[in-house]
Amino acid sequence: MATQLPAFMKAMVLEITNTPLVLKLVPVPVPLPEQVLIKVIACGLCRTDLHIVDEDLKHPKLPLIPGHEIIGIIVRIGERVKNVQNGDYVGVSWLGYTCGKCKYCLRGNENLCSNAEFTGYTIDGGYAEYTLANEQYCFKLTEKYGNSSAAPLLCAGLIGFRSYNMINKKAVNIGIYGFGAAAHIIIQIANYLGKHIFVFTKPGDINAQQFAANLGAFWTGDSSQSPPEKLDAAIIFAPEGSLIPKALKDTDKAGMVICGGIYMTDIPSFTYDILWEERSIHSVANLTRKDGDDFFKILTKISLTTRIISYKLSDANQALNDLRNGNIQGAAVLSIH
Ligand SMILES: [Zn+2]
Ligand SMILES: [Zn+2]
């Protein structure tokens, strides 16, 4: 039995890059056999959305409905869908599809799949009243997560978690450069695991430093400062290439510098001595479904809180501007149903 669904839905659409999204009435999509139709409860905003709108990331599908931090409820299923049903709460993240056949998929690196589809980039996402998702790429959620507060978990949380997991498990002193949506989630997990978190913000961003301190940061300062102790590892969430040599200088021998973002400005050249002694630099690309399973498993043990700023769907441009201008402490979310 099909739930009574409207024929049309509101969506915020990117028609041309570098222009504001346009509020449009578009047909509610129909799921293919392996897809589900999701009534969107909320969709978080991610810095990647800005990189898509601003064309730092090339060749998005156009017109495009952005958004890859989707919380919703399934309202229609395709005929071959097996593992979820109408009424289930699900989360949808950036990884929208992988081929399962390329060499990356076959060796367990589906995050690097050559034929991947990305939600809100190469396929439509969650800045809309409804969205489609491939069944295999929905994370089944308990009702506890069926609300706006959970939306940032689907990218900020997941990519932050993948970045964090790249670090040597024995690392204690961990630097975080850029204290936004991802950092405010990961600091809570790291604290639970007994790590000392050193937070670096933009120079003068006292509000972000205070926010980090309230969430249990071991030390806070700005990116022009050196930490009081050498770091075992660093995670860079801010899209500033100049933070790579800075973080290398802040790390101890064998220190790992993890770049959590999809885009960074150019990295200034640096002398070999700051990389010497087995320091390393890694980027984090996308996520795997296993990351999601592991992440939601650890969330059953931690009482994690997210700080969100809610916007109406039609205010998505305002929300993107606030994110662009650094006016958000925590995570911006479109609260839709
Ligand atoms: Zn994202
Ligand atoms: Zn593949």
Nearest ligand, measured from the Cα of 113: 2
Q: What is the mean pLDDT of the chain?
A: 95
| C-alpha of residue 110 to centroid of ligand 2, in Å | 6
| C-alpha of residue 273 to centroid of ligand 1, in Å | 33
Burial class (CB in 10 A: 0-12, 13-18, 19+), 109: middle
pLDDT of residue 3: 59
Ion ligand 2, residues whose Cβ is below 5 A away: 98-99, 102, 105, 113
Summarize pLDDT for 217-245 with one digit per residue, the tens.
999 999 999 999 999 999 999 999 999 99
pLDDT of residue 1: 47
Nearest ligand, measured from the Cα of 99: 2
Nearest ligand, measured from the Cα of 163: 1
Q: Domain limits of the chain?
A: 8-154+307-335, 159-283
Task: Tell the CATH topology of 8-154+307-335.
Answer: Quinone Oxidoreductase; Chain A, domain 1 (3.90.180)
Distances in whole angstroms, Cα of residue 112 to Cα of each of 100, 109, 117, 284, 285: 11, 6, 11, 10, 7
Nearest ligand, measured from the Cα of 115: 2
| C-alpha of residue 2 to centroid of ligand 1, in Å | 32
pLDDT < 70 positions in the chain: 1-3
Per CATH, 8-154+307-335 and 159-283 having the same topology is answered no
Task: Write the DSSP assignment of 115-145 as a string of letters.
Answer: T-EEBTTTB--SSBSEEEEEGGGEEEE-GGG
The CATH number corresponding to 159-283 among 3.20.170.30, 2.30.42.10, 3.40.50.720, 3.40.50.150 equals 3.40.50.720
pLDDT of residue 330: 84
Summarize pLDDT for 257-307 with one digit per residue, the tens.
999 999 999 999 999 999 999 999 999 999 999 999 999 999 988 988 999
pLDDT of residue 327: 83
| C-alpha of residue 333 to centroid of ligand 1, in Å | 12
| C-alpha of residue 112 to centroid of ligand 2, in Å | 7
Beta carbons within 10 angstroms of residue 226's beta carbon: 12
Nearest ligand, measured from the Cα of 98: 2
| C-alpha of residue 137 to centroid of ligand 2, in Å | 14
Closest CA to 332 of 20, 48, 23, 21: 48
Instruction: Assign 18 to helix, strand or coil.
Output: coil
| C-alpha of residue 327 to centroid of ligand 2, in Å | 38
Q: Are 39 and 337 in contact (CB under 8 A)?
A: yes
Q: What is the Cα–Cα distance from 219 to 127, expressed in whole angstroms?
A: 36
pLDDT of residue 212: 96
